């Protein structure tokens, strides 16, 4: 065997793969990895079919099908006010994760520091480390996981290159508020700090709250890579199509990596989504659709021994279980999948130091009968 020196010695298999595999193995209801258990719109499938039959089966342009980039530019301007040039400032990616990796690898050099807020989606830190960057994580605490901006200020120095934001946040279901934007703006003002804003849950935000996209604030937008996804809004996580928007000088660097990482993303789905986006109800209706699911699931959980944490956005509901056991969250999640038949994600997996607040994350993008069945089982925990 030829020895290799691992580039990510501390990194194992992502928790999503582990918990979904366990759920399948033991036949548990899978509320772990975030994906719906119902199908996407038949109309969207028809549109993909049509694009294939119309002969859109060869390489898309490297940056993506132009009609899709134009639709994204229109949608962004309408919702958030920012004008992006589809030719030079928008790139279609193979999902949000590829966009995040590409943005980080495009701008992070060895010893550059990147601030992340934990619990954080698990692809940020490995990408930073692979580029030789240094992860500066700020650990947030339940139940509210609010960012203490004075702590952020203390982390900033001449090596700080980027701050990664995620709102609505996975896994905590929190959102950035107007006050966070003000604090952030004051901190980055006159500093050469980029922002990577993971906004894949932009349309899944509840109780009439506003999505504070970086695209709303010109001084933030100018320094931001904004990442979004079609998998979440269109219930098609398996299609792996998302996008990145950034000012031209950033997007130029992004595309240098993108072209050699994936070159281009599958063509027919891009045509189909461009068509589908013409009807804005396809994404504006999601707030009600998922808020109903959230409320339904929370109501069910209220009868259990789990303690509900707030959920402002995303399709995740986190719970504390201190009333039930003092097991580690990973041990408890595994035992619950095996013994009670419900799979969840232990939130310690989203802290680089494995901090365990005894919190589990459930995905509620599920059919009502799935949620009913899951609640029935959780009542016995």
By C-beta, is 199 or 275 nearer to ligand GLN? 199
Determine if 167 is a binding residue for ligand GLN (CB under 6 A): no
Taking the complex as a whole, the smallest distance from the CB of residue 138 to ligand GLN amounts, in Å, to 20
Rounded Cα–Cα distance for residues 267 and 57 (Å) = 6
| Beta-sheet strands, E only, within the chain | 29-30, 90-93, 113-118, 134-139, 160-166, 194-198, 224-229, 242-245, 307-308, 316-320, 342-343, 345-346, 359-363
Half-sphere exposure of 350 (CA within 13 A, CB side): 24
Residue nearest to ligand GLN (CB): 34
Handedness of CA 97, 102, 107, 108 (dihedral sign): positive
By C-beta, is 33 or 317 nearer to ligand GLN? 33
Residues 254-313 interacting with ligand GLN (rule: CB under 6 A): none
Residue 374 has phi, psi (to 5 degrees) of -65, -45
Going from the C-alpha of 296 to that of each of 299, 317, 333, 371, the distances in angstroms are: 5, 11, 22, 8
Taking the complex as a whole, the smallest distance from the CB of residue 166 to ligand GLN amounts, in Å, to 11
Taking the complex as a whole, the smallest distance from the CB of residue 271 to ligand GLN amounts, in Å, to 25
Determine if 346 is a binding residue for ligand GLN (CB under 6 A): no
- Kindly state the number of chain residues that form the binding site for ligand GLN, as judged by CB under 6 A: 5
By C-beta, is 97 or 172 nearer to ligand GLN? 97
Among 33, 76, 93, 169, interactor with ligand GLN by CB under 6 A:
33
Taking the complex as a whole, the smallest distance from the CB of residue 225 to ligand GLN amounts, in Å, to 18
By C-beta, is 94 or 250 nearer to ligand GLN? 94
Going from the C-alpha of 228 to that of each of 29, 85, 146, 202, the distances in angstroms are: 28, 16, 23, 8
Among 34, 36, 242, 346, interactor with ligand GLN by CB under 6 A:
34
Write the interaction track for ligand GLN spanning residues 55-94; mark x where CB under 6 A is met and - where it is not: ----------------------------------------
By C-beta, is 16 or 296 nearer to ligand GLN? 16
Q: Copy the structure tokens of residue 75.
A: 């949608």
Q: Is residue 56 classed as helix, strand or coil in its secondary structure?
A: coil
By C-beta, is 32 or 160 nearer to ligand GLN? 32
Rounded Cα–Cα distance for residues 227 and 246 (Å) = 9
Rounded Cα–Cα distance for residues 79 and 60 (Å) = 27
Residues 91-150 interacting with ligand GLN (rule: CB under 6 A): 97
By C-beta, is 198 or 275 nearer to ligand GLN? 198
Q: Give the count of beta carbons closer than 10 Å to the beta carbon of residue 368.
A: 12
Taking the complex as a whole, the smallest distance from the CB of residue 158 to ligand GLN amounts, in Å, to 34
By C-beta, is 16 or 289 nearer to ligand GLN? 16
**How large is the C-alpha radius of gyration of the chain?**
20
Taking the complex as a whole, the smallest distance from the CB of residue 344 to ligand GLN amounts, in Å, to 11
Taking the complex as a whole, the smallest distance from the CB of residue 265 to ligand GLN amounts, in Å, to 17
Rounded Cα–Cα distance for residues 70 and 189 (Å) = 31
Taking the complex as a whole, the smallest distance from the CB of residue 34 to ligand GLN amounts, in Å, to 3
By C-beta, is 32 or 76 nearer to ligand GLN? 32
- Residue 76 near residue 82, CB atoms below 8 Å: yes
Residue 360 has phi, psi (to 5 degrees) of -120, 150
Determine if 16 is a binding residue for ligand GLN (CB under 6 A): yes
By C-beta, is 91 or 97 nearer to ligand GLN? 97
- Nearest CA to 214 among 201, 228, 227, 197? 197
171 in the Ramachandran plot: left (φ > 0), alpha (ψ -120 to 50) or beta? alpha
Q: Is the peptide bond before 355 cis (omega within 30 degrees of 0)?
A: no
Taking the complex as a whole, the smallest distance from the CB of residue 363 to ligand GLN amounts, in Å, to 6
Taking the complex as a whole, the smallest distance from the CB of residue 334 to ligand GLN amounts, in Å, to 17
Residues 168-207 interacting with ligand GLN (rule: CB under 6 A): 170
Rounded Cα–Cα distance for residues 97 and 360 (Å) = 22
Residues within the interface to ligand GLN (CB under 6 A): 16, 33-34, 97, 170
């Amino acid at each position: 065997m030829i020895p290799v020196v691992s580039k990510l010695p501390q990194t194992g298999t992502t928790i999503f793969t582990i918990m979904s595999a366990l759920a399948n193995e033991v036949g548990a209801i899978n509320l772990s990895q975030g994906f719906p258990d119902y199908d996407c719109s038949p109309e969207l499938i028809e549109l993909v079919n049509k694009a294939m039959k119309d002969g859109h089966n060869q390489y898309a342009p490297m940056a993506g099908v132009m009609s899709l980039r134009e639709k994204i530019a229109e949608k962004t301007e309408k919702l958030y006010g920012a004008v992006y040039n589809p030719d030079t400032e928008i790139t279609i990616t193979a999902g949000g994760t590829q966009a995040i990796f590409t943005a980080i690898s495009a701008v992070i050099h060895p010893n550059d520091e990147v601030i992340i807020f934990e619990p954080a989606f698990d692809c940020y830190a490995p990408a930073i480390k692979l580029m030789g960057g240094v992860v500066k994580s700020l650990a947030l605490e339940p139940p509210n996981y609010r960012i203490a901006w004075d702590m952020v200020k203390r982390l900033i120095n001449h090596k700080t290159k980027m701050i990664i934001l995620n709102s609505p946040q996975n896994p905590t279901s929190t959102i950035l508020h107007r006050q966070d934007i003000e604090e952030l703006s004051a901190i980055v003002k006159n500093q050469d700090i980029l922002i990577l804003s993971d906004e894949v849950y932009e349309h899944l935000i509840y109780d009439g709250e506003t999505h504070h996209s970086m695209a709303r604030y010109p001084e933030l937008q100018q320094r931001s890579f904004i990442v979004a996804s079609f998998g979440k809004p269109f219930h098609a996580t398996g299609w792996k199509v998302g996008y990145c928007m950034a000012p031209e000088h950033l997007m130029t660097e992004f595309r240098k990596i993108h072209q050699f990482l994936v070159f281009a993303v599958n063509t027919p789905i891009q045509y189909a989504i461009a068509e589908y986006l013409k009807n804005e109800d396809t994404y504006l209706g999601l707030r009600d659709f998922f808020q109903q699911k959230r409320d339904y699931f929370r109501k069910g959980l209220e009868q259990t021994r789990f303690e509900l944490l707030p959920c402002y956005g995303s399709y995740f509901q986190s719970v504390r279980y201190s009333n039930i056991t003092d097991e580690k969250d990973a041990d408890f999640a595994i035992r619950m999948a095996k013994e009670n038949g419900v799979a969840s994600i232990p939130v310690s997996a989203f802290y680089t130091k494995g901090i365990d607040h005894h919190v589990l994350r459930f995905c509620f993008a599920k059919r009502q009968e799935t949620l009913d069945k899951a609640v029935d089982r959780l009542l016995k925990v």
